[in-house]
A and B are shown apart, each in its own frame.
Chain A
């Protein structure tokens, strides 16, 4: 069973991102959207956590990055930026969605 985990809260305000990483299994995907995209930034306390998550694929929602003035070059390496259609694809490609709201 592959899982898509979603995080929509800032990792600097809430523990949704940390809690997600504590519960994600290898082979799963994590999508960062809304304020969750702040967890995608380089040079933050979260960057190392993204890199340390073995066998987990990370995505960030482009429209939410753009809305917050976060250019693509500020996103950590290894995080794929996707659009809304990509969000839908991820949801359908995985067996279920686990939301860390």
Chain B
């Protein structure tokens, strides 16, 4: 199987509760993670709202799926790219986002940040390096 490992990028561009896209993306990511592929996520445009901290859906009768992002690290999904320009356009900074981490097996399970804020130009290079891009 090892020679079949590909780079998969999930491109998230929609806010979490107005449509089903964000949740569907997260479900597909978790399914894909079970297949030993190299998986990364990008949050662009309104997609950055998906990982804003302090989400509370108790009054809108919808499942708050934001805690699930914290589980991604346990599935070796630890490359979460957030576009700087998209944050700035929405008055957000990295401090407004959930603190998502993973534990590095190779460094005595040291806790590391999963989120990396990147410029649009950097993200374009990241997209270029992928084998497959899934858009949500």
On A, residues with C-beta under 8 Å from B are 1, 3, 15, 19, 22-25, 96-101
Contacts and interface: CB of A to CB of B under 8 A. Distances in A.
Interface of B: 11, 13, 44-45, 85, 120, 123-124, 127-133, 135-136
Contacts of B130: 96
B131 A96 contact: yes
Contacts of A98: 11, 127, 133, 135
A101 B133 CA distance: 12
Contacts, number: 34
Given A3-B128, A23-B124, A99-B135, 8 more contacts: A22-B85, A22-B120, A23-B44, A25-B128, A96-B131, A97-B133, A98-B127, A98-B133
Main secondary structure of the interface of B (DSSP, over half): mixed
Nearest to A16: B13
Given A25-B124, A96-B131, A19 B136 contact: no
A19 B135 contact: no
Contacts of B45: 15, 19
Contact of A100 (B85, B120, B124, B135): B135
A55 to B, nearest CB: 13
A25 B44 CA distance: 17
